[in-house]
Chain A
Amino acid sequence: MPSWPAETKYISHSTARVDGAAKVTGKARYSSDIQATGWLYGMILRSKWPAAKITDINLEKALKVPGIRAAVLARGKEFTVRYYGEEIAAVAGTSKQACLDALRAIEVTAQPLPFVVNEADAKKADAPRVWENSPNYKEPNARDRGDVNTAFGQCAAVIEGFYSTPVQIHNPMETMGNTISWTDDGLTAWSSTQGISSVRDGLAGSLKLEHSKVRVITEYMGGGFGAKFGSGVEGALAANLSREAKAPVRLMLTRFDQALAVGNRPSSFQKIKLGAAADGTLLAFEMDNYGTAGIGGGGDAGGGGGGADIPAPYLYKVANSRVKQSAVAVNAGSARAFRAPGNPPASYGIESAMDDLAVKLGMDPVEFRLKNDPSKIRQREYALGVEKFGWKQKYQKPGSSPGVVKTGIGCAGAAWPAGGASKNTHGEAQINPDGTIEFRLGVQDIGTGTRTVIAVVAAEMLGLKPEQITVKVGDTRFPPGPGSGGSTTCPSISPTVFDICTKALQQLQTQTGIADARGENWFAACKKLGVNSLTVPGQWIEGLSSNPAGGVQFAEVEVDTETGLVTVKKILGVHDCGLIVNQLTLESQINGGIIMGMGYALYEERVMDDLSGVMLNPNFETYKLPGIADVPDIEVVLINMPERGVIGIGEPATVPTAGAIANAIANAIGVRVSSLPITPAKILAALGKVPPATA
């Protein structure tokens, strides 16, 4: 069995991002920066109706707009649109301004249809149907374990709550899109994607092209968070425009497009009943949950992982449980995978219920969790966190903080049971006689530091410095690797690079006779290669990575009970991810997960207008993201477990934040706000200072 070196110079230390300089100087070319020779600008016309039968589309006037070179239909001239923002047609021209003019010149004839965008309304039997042939909502089957009814009768304390979470929008800073050049020789797509292989397959499939005729390049991309695995409608439209105009077309979505049509995290409405014995042992759990995945209607519609189901009772071992879950379709854009699909809403729901039950039992919330969480690692993390955070000194009974501005603390746990590695990860290294070495892997960097991880592992294995390693990723011509999802990239590529390096050293020994080509012998060994470079393939090997990962987080908040304003003062994250590969970029990922979780807790929500069926906040003015002034003091404790090998961290870091903040707010004000985002209006309503908003 292979194993990671025990003494390390780079692994588990901090190396600055190898492509950092390219990113801070503007030299890094993102997909939206590509300027292929003779490129045209592309834009999409979207449905202004939440539901309508399109009967005719006339592109003639658009084609006459000066500068316009092509106009194509998304799905023919007659079809049904089912949400505000669905694609209708697209144009390509010599400027953005020409495209804007052309979109206005497209004539669409349509008969508006009844629609429904609110989850509760959509559930009703007489609601307009999103899909003609199936109801929006089907009563779910119950999954039973043990005897829940009898068990509730034996509980010393039982709580019932209704916890809800909104639809969250990915909103990567770079929108989705591509520059595509499609000629008789084949198609090249410079794609803003987290999965070059899946985009290659998607384009080949929708355009009926051989895989060998499609090349996808992603040198740099501006964030994805789960939305950017597929080629999407916008990919096919850009390709068709390029074919039609006989020129490369850059079609990046607008911020407005991004919010409507390319994925989101489903909402959840969790009716939870939870009961425990007097000593705190959980005895019974019952949940009835539904949420919307938009027109996707649940399951894995819209790109995988986009279903509305959530894991329950999540982290906790409960002998008796009944879980009912279903999705409800509404006239809105489909869900897609979103950073730890299902887990943030699951954590928020069950962790809120846990705190409510702890209060009823008169138990400390951490003690209550330790009693019921079967994970040994999380037990250790809670113990470390309690000390570091000063939990025992800071904890006060709910609502007992004096004054107008009340303080509170809370905690929550995370699991990321998926993850692990992709066994089909390949790569190669080209070693040149002058000692330069280039690694090529068909993965892409979503922003987590993929190139840096490859350079760090290679430098460690070969006795070189990370800056001596050239890393090329983001091209389907390289040996294939996985999409950047499921926290799998680092555990997939690290063992692959290990394998390549091991084989390279063996081969150098065979060819040059130098027994150990590492470090100071490197250049002498390479020189002995003569005139020919050496190319060494490798692949993922067993024993150097594992899963799952977990963690716990603690939050401290201040709540102004006169304005309802929440200020998060501090977050402590205690996380495990096996062998730490690069501490600096790991810390960045955990910070990022926490801040995204904070947005989910306090600010983010897709707002639909029931009467018009329109999304009201497809922008950054009214869909609020955390800004630098909102970000609290964040401290991170990493549990180092090199014996477990490499484990991904991207997803678990964002899972528990919302639950921890929600619990801290409840601890501060003494009442539960059981719906995210926890806005000032909801806090004032919970305190009885203003009437609750009516749905």
Chain B
Amino acid sequence: MKNPEPENFGAHSRRTFLKSLGTVAATAATAQVKSVADGLEKVNAEKVVGPDAVAVTLNVNGEKLKLMLEPRVTLLDALRNYSSLTGAKEGCDRASCGACTVLINDAPVYACQKLAVEAQGVEITTVEGLAQDGKLSKVQAAFVEKDALQCGYCTPGFVMSVTALLKKNFHPTAADVKHACAGNLCRCGAHPHILQAALKAAGVEHTSKTEIVNYA
């Protein structure tokens, strides 16, 4: 297996990382490391954006969203504060609760950990983009049927994580669902019903084990 090229590995290539360094840090670094200086020179030859607002175009739910944003604005803030797409929720703003999960090219991503300027040129799907012509997606319908939610604030995140799972795995096991939802937190404790809903969306029915006993 070939190792990925460092330049293209993951979300943060060396180039984007250097770009994101502040001038002060970069100056200190150039004094010490020649390779960093060379990298910076290359970066500075390109257009450095910010700190003022720049034009950003996001492809969200099949539509173009054109915004003026400071480069430091996250994808989550862009959606919630600069458009009316408030379906992705802010629960922590630091990549630990998953309430902001959206799909980027079908993969689940924490929108709070992606800068909006970095999310251009990809297909973004939010929870608002799942239902087609007013008809709930299979995952959404299963969440409603199994009552896989209480307050519902974490729900968009779980729905997106399960949707992403079912796009690549048509017959998930309970363990697959748990793995897919490992990055989502729920404080109301809807987990057992979320598991049932995810399996139901994949065509596996789990009947409730709840038993009702008359006292009298």
Say which one of A23-31, A122-130, A401-409, A488-496 lies at the interface with B.
A23-31
A692 beta carbon closer than 8 Å to chain B: no
> Is A637 part of the binding interface, using a Cβ–Cβ cutoff of 8 Å?
yes
Question: How far does the alpha carbon of A16 sit from the alpha carbon of B147 in the complex, in Å?
Answer: 7
Partner of A629, one of B77, B89, B182: B182
- Chain A 431-454 per-residue mask, 1 if CB under 8 angstroms from chain B, else 0: 000000000000000111100000
B176 to chain A, nearest CB (A): 11
Beyond A25-B140, A446-B151, whether A631 also contacts B192 by CB under 8 A is yes
A627 at the interface (CB under 8 A from B): yes
Q: Decide if A58 is an interface residue (CB 8 Å cutoff).
A: no
B151 engages A222 (CB within 8 Å): yes
Neighbouring A residues of B40 by C-beta, 8 Å? none
Chain A, residues 165-198, CB within 8 Å of chain B (1/0): the string is 0000001111100000000000000000000000
Contact, CB under 8 Å: A643 / B150: no
Can you list, as one digit per residue, whether each of A14-54 has a CB less than 8 Å from chain B (1) or not (0)?
Answer: 00110111011111111011010000010000000000000
B131 CB, min distance to chain A CBs, angstroms? 5
The reply to whether A17 and B149 contact each other, CB–CB distance below 8 Å, is yes
Chain B residue with the shortest CB-CB distance to A12: B212
Complex CA distance for A19 and B208, rounded to whole angstroms: 21
Q: What chain A residues lie within 8 Å of B14 (beta carbons)?
A: none
A246 at the interface (CB under 8 A from B): no
Query: Is residue B36 within 8 Å, beta carbon to beta carbon, of the partner chain?
Result: no
A26 touching B128 in the complex, CB below 8 Å, given contacts A583-B210, A631-B192: yes
Residue from B73, B147, B190 within 8 A of A97 (CB atoms): B73
* A173 and B145 within 8 A (CB): no
For A634, list chain B residues within 8 Å (CB).
Answer: 192
Is A9 among interface residues, defined by CB-CB distance under 8 A? Answer: no
How many Å from the CB of B187 to the closest CB on chain A? 5
Query: Which residues, 109 to 132 on B, are CB-close (under 8 Å) to A?
Result: 126-128, 130-131
Determine whether the beta carbon of A591 is less than 8 Å from that of B193.
yes
Residues from chain A with a CB closer than 8 A to the CB of B169 are none
Q: Which of B81, B186, B210, B216 has the most CB atoms of chain A within a 10 A radius of its CB?
A: B210
Q: Is the CB of A592 within 8 A of B147?
A: no
| A254–B97 CA distance with the chains assembled, in angstroms | 13
Tell me the minimal C-beta distance from A694 to chain B in angstroms: 29
Chain B residues within an 8 Å CB radius of A631? 189, 191-192, 195
Chain B 64-107, CB-CB to A under 8 Å as 1, else 0, gives 00000010110001001100111111111110110100000000
List chain B residues, Cβ under 8 A from A446.
151
Contacts of B37 in A (CB 8 A): none
575-592 of chain A: CB within 8 A of chain B? 576, 580, 583-585, 587-589, 591-592
Count of A-B contacts judged by CB separation below 8 Å: 213
* Residue in B93, B194, B216 whose beta carbon sits within 8 Å of that of A255 in the complex: B93
Closest A residue to B143 by beta carbon equals A24
Indicate if the CB atoms of B86 and A35 lie closer than 8 Å.
Answer: yes
Given A41-B81, A173-B91, verify A587-B147 contact (CB < 8 Å): yes
Report if B8 contacts A (CB, 8 A). no
Nearest chain-B residue to A223 (Cβ)?
Answer: B151
Identify A24's interface contact among B80, B149, B215, CB under 8 A: B149
Provided the pairs A173-B187, A620-B97 are in contact, do residues A638 and B212 lie with their beta carbons within 8 angstroms?
yes
Interface stretch (choices A75-83, A509-517, A593-601):
A593-601
Inter-chain CA distance A601–B8, complex, in Å, is 45
> In the complex, which of the residues B80, B147, B156 has the most CB atoms of chain A within 10 Å of its own CB atom?
B147
Whether A26 pairs with B127 at a CB distance below 8 angstroms is: yes
Contact indicator B136/A591 (Cβ below 8 Å):
no
B195 contacts A625, C-beta separation under 8 Å: no
Q: In chain B between 165 and 216, which residues have their CB closer than 8 angstroms to a CB of chain A? A: 177-179, 181-182, 184-195, 208-216
Bound Cα distance from A16 to B209, whole angstroms: 17
Which residues of B sit under 8 angstroms from A595, Cβ to Cβ?
Answer: 189, 191
* CB atoms of A628 and B85 under 8 A apart: no
B interface residues, how many (CB within 8 angstroms): 66
A255/B91 in contact, CB under 8 A:
yes
Q: How far is the CA of A635 from the CA of B208 in the complex (A)?
A: 9
Q: Which residues of A contact B193 (CB under 8 A)?
A: 587-588, 591
Does B145 contact A16, Cβ atoms closer than 8 Å?
yes
A21 touches which of B87, B136, B187 (Cβ 8 Å) = B136
Given A41-B81, A583-B212, A589-B150 in contact, is the A225-B86 Cβ separation under 8 Å?
no
> CA separation between A23 and B145, bound complex, in Å?
12
B160 to chain A, nearest CB (A): 10
- B163 CB to closest chain A CB (Å) equals 11
Per-residue CB proximity of A397-419 to B under 8 Å, as 1/0?
Answer: 00000000000000000000000
**Chain B hits for A172, CB < 8 A:** 151, 153, 187
A627 touches B89 (CB 8 A): no
The 5 closest A-B pairs by CB, nearest first: A26-B87, A222-B153, A447-B151, A592-B189, A595-B189
List chain A positions with a Cβ less than 8 A from chain B: 16-17, 19-21, 23-30, 32-33, 35, 41, 95-97, 171-175, 220-223, 225, 252, 254-255, 377, 380, 384, 388, 446-449, 576, 580, 583-585, 587-589, 591-596, 619-621, 625-629, 631, 634-641, 643
* 29 A-B contacts (beta carbon < 8 Å): A27-B87, A28-B152, A30-B86, A35-B84, A95-B73, A171-B187, A172-B187, A173-B153, A173-B154, A220-B151, A222-B153, A225-B187, A377-B215, A447-B152, A447-B188, A587-B208, A588-B147, A589-B150, A591-B190, A592-B189, A593-B189, A621-B96, A628-B181, A628-B191, A628-B194, A639-B214, A640-B212, A640-B215, A641-B215
Other A-B contacts than A97-B70, A587-B193, A591-B191, 12 sampled, CB-CB below 8 A, are A35-B86, A172-B151, A173-B89, A255-B91, A446-B151, A588-B188, A625-B187, A626-B189, A629-B182, A637-B213, A638-B213, A640-B215
Q: What is the interface of chain B, defined by CB distance below 8 A to chain A? A: 70, 72-73, 77, 80-81, 84-94, 96-97, 99, 126-128, 130-131, 136, 140, 143-145, 147, 149-156, 159, 177-179, 181-182, 184-195, 208-216
